[in-house]
Amino acid sequence: MSRHESVTLVTGAAQGIGAATARLFASRGHAVLAVDSRGEVGVVADEITAAGGRCLGHVCDVRVEPEVEAAITTAVSEFGQLDVLVNNAGVVLVKAVEETTWEDFRHVVDVNIGGTFLFCKHALPVMKAQAGGAIVNLASVSGHVGQTDHAVYGATKGAILSMTRALAWEVAPFGIRVNSVSPGSVDTPMLRGDVEIESRRTGRPLETVRAAREAEQAFDRWAEPHEIAEVVWFLAGEAASFVTGTDVLADCGWVAK
């Protein structure tokens, strides 16, 4: 075990926003535990290490409490501390409510809400012992606006907004800050899959669906994952030392319209 100036754990780090966040934090001097349910997270960790960063990949199902506990233990045993937790792991569901099975519902709730809850639960004792830390939860614009066929997904993201606000007050006496980020459309495998589902469901060409989604952003484009990672970096760092219990909309004006 060796102590580092700052240690960050990122869930859902095998691709998209999670991978971009792991890369950004490592490039700026953090030791990173990159967590994902897929073994590909090891590839991301190897790439970061090859670029001169300090990163370990760790396979974990965020729905399984013993695995979550093991991930937190690994971060502390390998790096000596845990300063930042980024709860990015999530899944999307694009289905009408009447077509949604109970299994569909449970899966999205267990990953999106359950995973965030479990990592917060098991990271907090470490952060309390250190008398400080920062948690950044990934919510979504879907927690702020209504989207057809996204009722369950949007509900989970709305729950993360509420959890963030309540937890911020709960842990403020221990010097721990809790905030969230609500991205708009970000060019990730998740969103591309979402668009493909909508294209098949509506019979519209893929390019037409994508163009419509891009038009929901004021700049008529999707964000790149690293743009959201920069918002996470801000909320996790000293520049946001007076910011807690809030959500940052990185949605390119979607909600403001």
Query: Which 3-state string (H, E, C) describes 139-201?
Result: CCHHHCCCCCCCHHHHHHHHHHHHHHHHHHHHHHHHCEEEEEEEECCECCHHHHHHHHHHHHH
* Mean pLDDT, the chain, integer: 94
- Among 153, 222, 233, 254, the one annotated catalytic: 153
Contact assessment for residue 190 and residue 16, using Cβ atoms and an 8 Å cutoff = yes
How confident is residue 1, by pLDDT bands cut at 50, 70 and 90? Answer: very low
Give the containing element (helix H, strand E) for 55. strand 54-59
pLDDT score of 4: 59
CA angle at residue 202 from 185 to 105, to 5 degrees? 65
Verify whether residue 197 is a known catalytic residue.
no
Rounded-to-integer distance, Cα 42 and Cα 50, Å: 12
Q: Average pLDDT, stretch 115-136?
A: 98
Which residue ranges form the domains of the chain, and what is each CATH number? Answer: 7-184+224-250 (3.40.50.720), 186-222 (no CATH)
The pTM assigned to this predicted structure is 0.93
Q: Average pLDDT, stretch 145-149?
A: 91
Rounded-to-integer distance, Cα 194 and Cα 150, Å: 10
Rounded-to-integer distance, Cα 79 and Cα 33, Å: 9
Please tell me which residue, 201 or 170, carries the higher pLDDT value: 170
Q: What are the pLDDT digits (tens) for 98-114? A: 999 999 999 999 999 99
Q: What single letter denotes the amino acid at residue 12?
A: G
Contact assessment for residue 254 and residue 145, using Cβ atoms and an 8 Å cutoff = yes
Q: What are the pLDDT digits (tens) for 179-203? A: 999 999 898 888 888 888 888 888 8
Contact assessment for residue 105 and residue 153, using Cβ atoms and an 8 Å cutoff = no
164-169: list long-range contacts, CB under 8 Å, 24+ apart. 164/137, 164/139, 164/245, 164/247, 165/245, 167/120, 167/135, 168/244, 168/245, 168/246, 169/245
pLDDT score of 139: 98
- Please give the torsion angle defined by the CA atoms of residues 164, 4, 75 and 35, in that order, rounded to the nearest 10 degrees: 70
Instruction: Identify the residue whose tokens are 């700049």.
Output: 219
**Which of 19-33, 117-131, 216-230 is predicted least confidently?**
216-230
